[in-house]
Structure 1
Amino acid sequence: MDVVQLLGVNVRRYRRLRGMTQEALALEVEMERSYVSDLERGTRNPSVRALGRLAAALGGHPAQLLEVCAD
């Protein structure tokens, strides 16, 4: 799996685990909801700063968003 797709899978996974909508996550990280949607679909490459903001909002570390999960 491509790293951008992996990031998207993990953003969606951690967002759902926290019971957040895309809209709620977008508001928390000050991004457009469509940007969050694009990230989750693996069609956007976030900046390092955006990766950090996403990880913080999801209660984790940026590296967690790039790890392969064994679910």
Structure 2
Amino acid sequence: MKNRLRELRSARGWTQADLGERLGVSRQAVIAIESDKHDPSLALAYKIAALFGEPVEAIFDNPYSAG
């Protein structure tokens, strides 16, 4: 699933380890999500959205949306 996680993280000057610590996941999990190798759980997606103060849909593309 395409996402803006790397862009949002970089804009704040956070490393992947920093973001992982804030989310309670490993740096490897952040790497996997950023590189579209792993989709986050719904709970983690909402946690990411809350951390960045944006709706989930503004961070993660919905592969099922029309158009």
Do Structure 1 and Structure 2 share a fold, with TM-score over 0.5?
yes
Structure 2 residues without counterparts, runs of 5 or longer: 62-67
TM-score for the superposition, normalised by structure 2: 0.81
Structure 1 residues without counterparts, runs of 5 or longer: none
CA contact (8 A) 1:12 1:40 kept: yes
TM-score for the superposition, normalised by structure 1: 0.77
Corresponding pairs, count: 61
Q: 1:34 aligns with which of 17, 28, 36?
A: 28
Q: Percent identity?
A: 25
In our comparison, the structure showing a higher alpha carbon Rg is: 2
Following TM superposition, the consecutive aligned residue runs of length 4 or more in structure 1 with deviations greater than 6 angstroms are none
More helix by share: 1
